[in-house]
Amino acid sequence: MSAATREEIATLVPGDWQLRAACRGADPAVFYSPDGERGSARVRREARARQICRPCPVLAPCRDHALAAGETYGVWGGLTEADRRKPAHRLRRGEPTTRLDPFASGRSHSSNVDSP
Ligand code: SF4
């Protein structure tokens, strides 16, 4: 993905929740993986992004937008690209994603999302 700022990305999203985003002004490289990123480097970068997301006052609308819009890249609403795959699939099928809480256990949240 190109190095667009979160503000540039937010202008593509309807609504005003992004004006209160904790990531406004943050380095986009924290939220989007560089080419070829793998393993522990990815885990560390995603953990830094999630630290920004955790206290964000608009975490829920951000997460919902990412799932509804099928955002492929980046950390949105505390969810990584991998975290969003199954819930997004459920949302597109009109199924609930009621247990989707990225910080429910205080550790990696991949196990906290609904399974199809
Ligand atoms: S939840 Fe994270 S990605 Fe979404 S607006 Fe807040 S800080 Fe940015």
Nearest residue (by CA) to ligand 1, atom 2, is: 53
Q: What is the pLDDT of residues 63-106, one digit of tens each?
A: 988 888 889 999 999 999 999 887 666 767 777 665 667 787 54
Whole-number Å distance, alpha carbon 52 to ligand 1 midpoint, is 7
- State the pLDDT at residue 12: 47
Alpha helices by DSSP H, the chain: 6-10, 28-31, 39-53, 59-69, 81-92
**Structural domain includes residue 74:** yes
Domain annotation covers residue 36 = yes
- Range of the structural domain that residue 65 is part of: 6-112
Kindly report, residue by residue over 23-60, the tens digit of the pLDDT: 999 999 999 999 999 999 999 999 999 999 999 999 99
Six token digits for residue 10: 């937010």
In a domain, 91, yes or no: yes
Instruction: Return binding residues for [4Fe-4S] cluster.
Output: 23, 53, 56, 62
Output the CA angle 7-9-12, nearest 5 degrees. 110
Is residue 42 assigned to a domain? yes
Spatial distance between the Cα atoms of 16 and 33, rounded to a whole number of angstroms: 26
**Which three-class secondary structure state does DSSP give residue 40?**
helix
Would 1 be classed as within a structural domain?
A: no
Number of domains into which the chain is organized: 1
Separation of CA 106 and ligand 1 centre (Å): 17
Residue 90 lies in a domain: yes
Residue 68 lies in a domain: yes
